[in-house]
Structure 1
Amino acid sequence: MKIAFVGKGGSGKTTLSSLFIRHLAANEAPVIAVDADINQHLGAALGLDEREAAELPALGAHLPLIKEYLRGSNPRIVSADTMIKTTPPGRGSRLLRVCEDNPVYAACARTLMLDGQPVRLMATGPFTEADLGVACYHSKVGAVELCLNHLVDGPDEYVVVDMTAGSDSFASGMFTRFDMTFLVAEPTRKGVSVYRQYKEYARDFGISLKVIGNKVQGPEDIEFLQDEVGEDLLVTFGHSDWVRAMEKGRAAAFELLEATNRFALQSLQDAADDSYAHRDWERYTDQMVRFHLKNAESWGNAKTGVDLAEQVDPDFVLREGAETHEGAETPEGVEALVSPRPHPHRTAPQPA
């Protein structure tokens, strides 16, 4: 399942998304973590030092390879150059899966060991000097959206995306790619303002949205959040000595995280699992196509010089069991590496 963490800057969404990723890894669940925030902090929150975080490959830098691999033998896509961030898969496209090795992961992902468990980490990459003044954030996350469009995820697999701060995520169709969106909100007026924006924008798209109250100091803070967001409030987090040590680079074993916070993380997993169980694959594919057609008409056709509506395969539905590309030659410079691994058994955390 695909899960997004959103919230205003400074709300703690990166910290909480990193805790959730650690929780999933501790439960031996397959996890792909994606840093889609232009301020790249997820790697550090997962334990990388400054040098290691700076050496993470940028998805955007490998966009030609990503496009060529995902295009596969899809006859509706005449060349990788005609693919844009919203291009949907069709018959002949290559699909990504959480539990496999492939050229995209080989080029764009790095495997971290969190308490002995492997987690794949991918990042959009920061702005470079060449980007300043001429590029926007959305040019960086296009590779993330393209990968999510082609990723088939199962019920015991997790793709966790740390999104950009504020409501910028709604500038693309990527916000519809998630089974659950967790909005991190502090118990302040500013803290819940982004929630109101998300709630309004997501209303017509069937987005599952739950609020995580963060930096909660007592019952009054919880009452404030309950009054402001109602039943959308799922859990709250307060002060954590474990998190404070982690932010200083001195994280202890994850099993030593406070029991109340560990059970809150399990509540997040339970909510995400329940939402995935109700995924409508046809609607999921239709929304993908809808945003592709909007982008094609708005700018894509003019940029590529072709009618991108022709890329839509009307008979294709992205779903579990969907066939991937087979039988065509591997694109030049792209080595096929497909070796699925089994799904580990998931276990619930025990009280400390």
Structure 2
Amino acid sequence: MKAAFVGKGGSGKTTLAGLFCRFLAVQEGPRVLAFDADINQHLAVALGADPDEAALLPALGDHLEEIKEYLRGDNPRIASAAAMLKTTPPGPGSRLVRVDEPNPLYERLVRTVGGVRLAVTGPFAADDLGVACYHSKVGAVELLLNHMADGPGEYAVVDMTAGADSFASGLFTRFDLTFLVCEPTVRSVGVYRQYVGYARDHGVRIAVVGNKVDDADDVAFLRAEVGDDLLCWVGRSGFVKAAERGRFLPIADLEPPNAHALATMRAALDRCEKDWPRYAAQAAEFHARNAVAWGNARTGADLSAQIEPGFNLAPATAAAR
């Protein structure tokens, strides 16, 4: 399954993404693959990496052409890696990836941090100021998810950029379930409403996870504001406070109510039903939009021709790759 974490900046989105990945990895090991797609690259530290160590992780954004060339395979609809956009969907001849498999991209770009396999897009660097869009780096994650045929017991978890910036690309449609982390505050609820307003137009499943919840009044506030979207909540945590001070405890030491919240999140994700044809249709929709908006002009070709009608990542397709 594919899951995303979104929410207001400072809501604890990255902290909860890290906890969820650690919780899954204890049970599923290498069948969990995390991506840091936030403009503020903190997921590695949330998983237990030293900040200096985190800064040395290989960045997907620095290897975008290599990623494109690998995924292109011998797809006859794609003339070259240079003709691929971040939205380019797979087709016959494309290389598909699984969450847990040996391949040259993972060997170069995925590292294990705190027991979790992690890939990072890379930070917004000084050389990018005034000339680059961060979402060009995030495009590496979108391409990989477009070509990822995940199966039962496999989890790809993405820490997204804060607020509504996630909608600057089609990446927001690439998930079976999006966890929206929401504090019991007016500002955090405002981000929830903005996100839901965009997401529901595209059938994106949203589950709200309350965070920094102190008491029953906080829960009542969240219920009143988000209704049935409230899946569960996480209370103030000594376990999390210790991690924020650099002392990472085993995930088994997490407070039982908060561990129960993580289990509830996993159960909700596992209940989601795959709809591979719809997943492919959404990829085709956003690729066609990008082609018309800027891709065709940049490449001098009609990139909508890269879309293979009827192709999707259903298990039979993945098995035949």
Where on the TM-score scale, by shorter chain, does this alignment land: which range?
over 0.9
Q: In 2, Cα distance between the equivalents of 1:46 and 1:321?
A: 35
Whole-angstrom distance in 2 between the partners of 1:279 and 1:55: 36
Distance 2:114 2:196 in 1: 36
The 5-angstrom pairing of residues 9-20 of structure 1 reads: 9-20=9-20
Does the 8 Å CA contact 2:28/2:153 hold for their aligned counterparts?
Answer: no
Tell me if the contact between 2:149 and 2:318 (Cα under 8 Å) persists in the aligned partners. no
1:229 is aligned to 226
| Residue 112 of structure 1: aligned partner | 113
The letter for the 2-side match of 1:296 is A
Work out whether residues 152 and 320 of structure 1, in 8 Å CA contact, stay in contact via their aligned partners in 2.
Answer: yes
Mapped contact 1:94–1:324 kept (Cα < 8 A): no
Q: Matches of 1:38 and 1:57 in 2, distance apart?
A: 15
Q: Please name the residue that 2:22 is paired with.
A: 22
Farther off after superposition, 105-114 or 151-160: 105-114
Task: Give the alignment of 1:1-352 within 5 angstroms.
Answer: 1-29=1-29, 30-114=31-115, 119-275=116-272, 278-323=273-318
Q: Is the 8 A contact 1:73 1:92 kept in 2?
A: yes
Measured in 2, the distance between the counterparts of 1:34 and 1:256 equals 24
Output one character per residue of 1:260-285: Cα deviation in whole Å (capped at 9) or x when no partner. 1111100000000011xx22111110
Q: CA deviation at 1:325?
A: 8.4
Q: Is the 8 A contact 2:239 2:253 kept in 1?
A: yes
Unpaired runs of at least 5, structure 1: 327-352
TM-aligned CA deviation for residue 112 of structure 1: 2.7
1:113 Cα deviation (Å)? 4.5
What's the CA shift for 1:303?
1.0
| Preserved CA contact (<8 Å) 2:86 2:140 | yes
Gaps of 5+ in 2: none
- Give the whole-Å Cα distance in 2 for the aligned partners of 1:47 and 1:82: 38
Aligned residues: 320
Please list the CA deviations of residues 87-118 of structure 1 after superposition, one character each: whole Å capped at 9, or x if unmatched: 0000000001012011111121112342xxxx
Q: 1:185 to 1:113 in 2, by over 3 A?
A: closer
Contact kept? 2:49, 2:114, Cα under 8 Å: no
Q: Could you tell me whether the CA contact under 8 Å between 2:142 and 2:171 is conserved in 1? A: yes
CA distance in 1, matches of 2:205, 2:270: 12
- Cα RMSD of the aligned pairs, angstroms, is 1.2
- Distance in structure 2 (CA, Å) of the matches to 1:6 and 1:241: 23
Cα deviation for residue 127 of structure 1 reads 1.3
CA distance in structure 1 between the aligned counterparts of 2:232 and 2:189, rounded to whole angstroms: 15
Residue type of the alignment partner of 1:42: L
Alpha carbons 1:74, 1:92 under 8 Å: kept: yes
> How far 1:204 moved relative to its partner?
2.1
- Paired with 1:203 and 1:321, the residues of 2 have a C-alpha distance of 29
Find the aligned partners of 1:253 and 1:69 in 2 and give their Cα distance.
37
Change (3 A) 1:149 1:78: same
Once the two structures are TM-superposed, the CA of residue 203 in structure 1 deviates from its matched residue by 1.4
Distance 2:94 2:300 in 1: 21
Q: Secondary structure at the match of 1:127?
A: coil
Instruction: Give TM-score scaled by structure 1 length.
Output: 0.89
Q: % of aligned pairs identical?
A: 60
Q: In structure 2, the residue corresponding to 1:322 is in which secondary structure? A: helix
The equivalent of 1:336 in structure 2 is none
One-letter amino acid matched to 1:107: R
The answer to whether the 8 Å contact 1:95/1:324 transfers is no
Matched residues in 1 for 2:172 and 2:13: separation? Answer: 16
State the partner residue of 1:339: none
